[in-house]
Amino acid sequence: MNRSDLTEIIKNSASELNFDLCNITSAESFIEDRDIAIDRIRSGKMSGLPWFNESRVIRGTDPSTLLPEAKSIISVGMNYYQDRKPNPNKHRPMGKVAVYAWGKDYHKVVKKRMKLLVENISNVLGTSFKSRWYIDDGPMLDRAAARRSGIGWIGKNTNLLSPQLGSWVFLGQIITDLELDIDLPLKKHCGTCSRCIEECPTKAITDPYTIDNSRCISHLTIENRGSIPTELRDSIGEWVFGCDICQDVCPVNVKSQIAKEPLFKVNTKQSLDLINLLTMSEHQFRENFAGTPIMRAKYHGMQRNACIVLGNIGSPDSIPALTHALKSDSPIVRGHSAWALGKIGGHASKLALREQLSVETDPEVINEISAASSRITV
């Protein structure tokens, strides 16, 4: 079978497996992307992600270290976009969830489809071939491979932008020893548009194509395991898990299409009941969110986030739940519930803070309670 015929068969097979995008690039090293990533690590822009280090970047930008016989990279993309519907329960405080987390965990979905794609190619060839496949939890720089394959270009918010689907795309790469026809990178770019930079509430996009991870709402509410800086809590608004603002305002995303993959249409998690988050047990949390990306933030992380959003919403109805959280076994949750009570204010908040202060032993939580109490005038 010649190279062009095999390339066409691979792209058709990818489409049958619900991949919306499939292009091919070479297995050459990603030298420019490596240098940019290392510079961001050294400048502190990737703080809070200890696993994203220089050795990982060096390994992930040289496909031959991952597969010595590498000749081509099959770059795939799967649309996950869904329309955000109005809050169905207007009488309960709800927190917004990034669209990518509404359905099943994409790591499992996309990896399984890539495995099936490799099997389909082997069936066509009548023999196995050497391959390794990755998504964003692997060492490869997924956006670099996608950009070079022509699937899209890198936007100023650092997301990959597909001309057909915008940025609502899960990416995957299959490194192979097959010689395939190579697609060319796109010549598109963002031009003078800077909406994502202007609309980011925490100013995390410090320059075009550069994000300060320590200020990004997605990082703060998902990967971050510690306290969220006080000066950024107001800016988190109602985002309890992740953030889509820089995607929502992007003009390229005007072309967004509803995902055809049914496993991404389980959108009962598009907004979460914050009172329930604070009062459920860890066992109930695991039962509710098993198999979804929300597990990434963990039980206490989601309760911390819920406290912040409840503080920003400011409803006195949430004081009992926040008072309950003030007695959590996690000092992070206690500290953030104290902050929220201080924002909401009132006699009940003041009393709850005073009672907890009398028994609190953690120095950071004591500081949070003292600061929150000082803001309340009753």
- By annotation, the residues acting in catalysis are 136
- C-alpha 11/C-alpha 290 separation (Å) is 33
Q: What is the pLDDT at residue 328?
A: 97
Residue 183 tokens, joined:
């697609």
pTM exceeds 0.85, yes or no: yes
- In CATH terms, is domain 280-378 a member of 1.10.1660.10? no
* Distance in angstroms between the alpha carbons of the first and the last residue of the chain: 80
User: Any alpha helices (H) in the chain, and if so which ranges?
Assistant: 3-16, 31-42, 54-60, 63-66, 106-125, 142-149, 195-199, 217-218, 230-233, 245-248, 274-279, 282-289, 299-313, 319-325, 331-344, 347-357, 363-374
At residue 333, the pLDDT reads: 98
- Average pLDDT for consecutive 10-residue bins of the chain (378 residues)? 93 96 97 93 87 91 95 97 79 92 91 96 93 92 96 96 96 97 95 96 95 95 96 98 97 92 81 96 95 94 98 97 97 98 97 97 97 91
What angle (nearest 5°) sits at the alpha carbon of residue 146, between those of residues 144 and 150? 115
Three-class secondary structure of residue 330 per DSSP: coil
In the chain, what are the domain boundaries? Answer: 3-82+102-176, 280-378
Architecture of domain 3-82+102-176: 3-Layer(aba) Sandwich (3.40)
Q: At residue 273, what are phi and psi to the nearest 5 degrees?
A: -75, 115
pLDDT at res. 97:
96
Q: Position of tokens 């009488």? A: 91
Amino acid identity at 245:
I
